């Protein structure tokens, strides 16, 4: 990161001026899967054109944006994703991507440009395929290996819920054997407030969820190389879903942009309250964002970044009271066709 950007970040932290250093961009809500607990399967009615996307990203870059996380839907399904990634990288923007991995082997030139690929994995094959369809697990792992083959950092992401809680240790073994890391975070009823999909049936009871994360703490303390969570998120999830105050950079150095150009201070908020960058312009839309956090943050990497942002070193160290619980009994899974 260049010195002017670092200076902007320090200024934002000191309360001097907000700067959109990091942008989460949902480039499309189109997806080639229909996962059981996800809200985003079909394109939004007025998704931005190629020209609008490039113009908006150029304006964000002029304001100080130096990191973009491409999300969806499925980013690799967007017809202009190759050009968008190249456009950003040419401007020295670090680009991450959240993907289901299925299209990855066909997109190697674009994957090579990314700083990190994050691929969703719901558990061992039976769990993953039950959520995403027969054969999805092997396709996701093929995508992970394809991304790694071109030198791109790969990180797996697992949403912990009723569908996979009893299979976490099996997943850890598979991930360790494949020499990847996996980041765990809790399932929510919807990816964002006001979403159309009721995923409450996938949420674990609080005591079961905390048991899983105590297990992950114990395995991490025991040296498991497969657990990608830092201590800040593992310690945070000890009290989830109870309200827990987190220092938050939402709207100060971070923002989320949806496919229609609506800008939000955070990706996990009510979607009726955005500022549209096509109508207001990027600068004005960003300046109008609220600068506030919440007390139920569930995204592991965001939690970790926010504790770092707040200088909470106490949260970044391993706790002293870790003990592994008994594993949960297995649940029967019905595979989606």
User: Smallest Cα–Cα separation from 1: which of 76, 100, 94?
Assistant: 94
The pLDDT value given to residue 192: 47
Look up residue 289 and give its DSSP letter: S
The pLDDT value given to residue 321: 77
The pLDDT value given to residue 132: 92
What is the CB neighbour count within 10 angstroms for residue 2?
Answer: 10
The pLDDT value given to residue 36: 75
| CB distance 228 to 156 below 8 Å | yes
3-state DSSP call for residue 149? helix
User: Smallest Cα–Cα separation from 63: which of 295, 326, 281, 302?
Assistant: 281
Cα distance between the two ends of the chain:
45
Lookup: tokens for 266:
């955070």
The pLDDT value given to residue 271: 78
The pLDDT value given to residue 323: 67
Reading across the β-sheet that carries 254-257, which strands appear in turn?
Answer: 182-186, 153-160, 116-120, 94-99, 67-71, 22-26, 254-257, 262-264, 275-276
Lookup: tokens for 3:
């010195």
Give kind and range of the element (H or E) at residue 158.
Answer: strand 153-160
From CA 324, how far away is CA 273, in angstroms rounded?
Answer: 42
The pLDDT value given to residue 325: 56
List of the chain residues with pLDDT < 70: 1-16, 189-199, 323-337
Query: Residue 116 CA to chain centroid, in angstroms?
Result: 12
User: Smallest Cα–Cα separation from 213: which of 175, 160, 173?
Assistant: 160
Question: What's the pLDDT tens digit per position in 8-23?
Answer: 555 555 555 799 999 9
From CA 48, how far away is CA 214, in angstroms rounded?
Answer: 43
Domains in the chain and their CATH numbers? 1-98+249-292 (3.20.20.70), 100-245+295-308 (3.20.20.70)
From CA 101, how far away is CA 138, in angstroms rounded?
Answer: 10
| CB distance 88 to 58 below 8 Å | no
From CA 31, how far away is CA 99, in angstroms rounded?
Answer: 10
The pLDDT value given to residue 249: 92
The pLDDT value given to residue 1: 47
Q: Per-residue b/e over 306-323, b at no fewer than 16 CB within 10 Å? A: bbbbbeeeebeeeeeebe
From CA 315, how far away is CA 333, in angstroms rounded?
Answer: 36
Lookup: tokens for 219:
């395995």
From CA 288, how far away is CA 159, in angstroms rounded?
Answer: 32
Give kind and range of the element (H or E) at residue 210.
Answer: helix 206-221
Question: What's the pLDDT tens digit per position in 100-118?
Answer: 999 999 999 999 999 999 9
Lookup: tokens for 68:
């973009």
Q: Which residues pair with 250 in a beta bridge?
A: 254
**Residue 301: which region, alpha, beta or left (left: phi > 0; alpha: psi -120 to 50)?**
alpha
Q: Which residues pair with 98 in a beta bridge?
A: 118
């Amino acid at each position: 990161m260049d010195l002017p950007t670092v200076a902007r970040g320090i200024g934002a932290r000191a309360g001097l001026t907000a700067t959109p250093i990091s942008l989460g961009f949902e480039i499309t809500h189109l997806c080639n899967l229909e996962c059981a607990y996800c809200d985003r399967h079909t394109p939004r009615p007025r998704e931005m054109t190629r020209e609008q996307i490039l113009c908006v990203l150029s304006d964000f870059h002029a304001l100080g944006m130096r990191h973009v996380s491409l999300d969806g839907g499925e980013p690799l399904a967007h017809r202009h994703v190759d050009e968008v990634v190249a456009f950003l990288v040419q401007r020295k923007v670090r680009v991450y991507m959240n993907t289901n991995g299925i299209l990855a082997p066909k997109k190697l030139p674009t994957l090579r440009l990314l700083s990190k690929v994050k691929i969703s994995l719901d558990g061992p094959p039976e769990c993953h395929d039950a959520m995403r369809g027969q054969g999805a697990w092997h396709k996701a792992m093929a995508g992970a290996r394809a991304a790694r083959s071109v030198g791109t950092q790969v990180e797996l992401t697992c949403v912990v819920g009723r569908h996979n809680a009893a299979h976490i240790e099996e997943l850890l073994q598979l991930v360790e054997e494949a020499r990847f890391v996996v980041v765990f975070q809790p399932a929510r009823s919807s990816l964002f407030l006001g979403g159309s999909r009721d995923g409450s049936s996938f949420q674990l009871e609080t005591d079961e969820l905390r048991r899983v994360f105590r297990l992950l703490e114990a395995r991490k303390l025991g040296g498991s190389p497969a657990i990608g969570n830092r201590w800040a998120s593992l310690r945070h999830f000890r009290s989830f879903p109870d309200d827990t105050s987190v220092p938050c950079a939402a709207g100060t150095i971070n923002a989320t942009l949806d496919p229609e150009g609506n800008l939000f201070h955070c990706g996990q908020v009510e979607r009726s309250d955005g500022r549209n960058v096509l109508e207001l312009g990027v600068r004005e839309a960003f300046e109008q964002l609220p600068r506030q956090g919440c007390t139920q943050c569930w995204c592991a990497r965001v939690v970790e970044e926010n504790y770092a942002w707040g200088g909470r070193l106490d949260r970044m160290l391993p706790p002293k009271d870790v003990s592994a619980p008994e594993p949960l009994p297995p649940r029967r899974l019905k595979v989606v066709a």
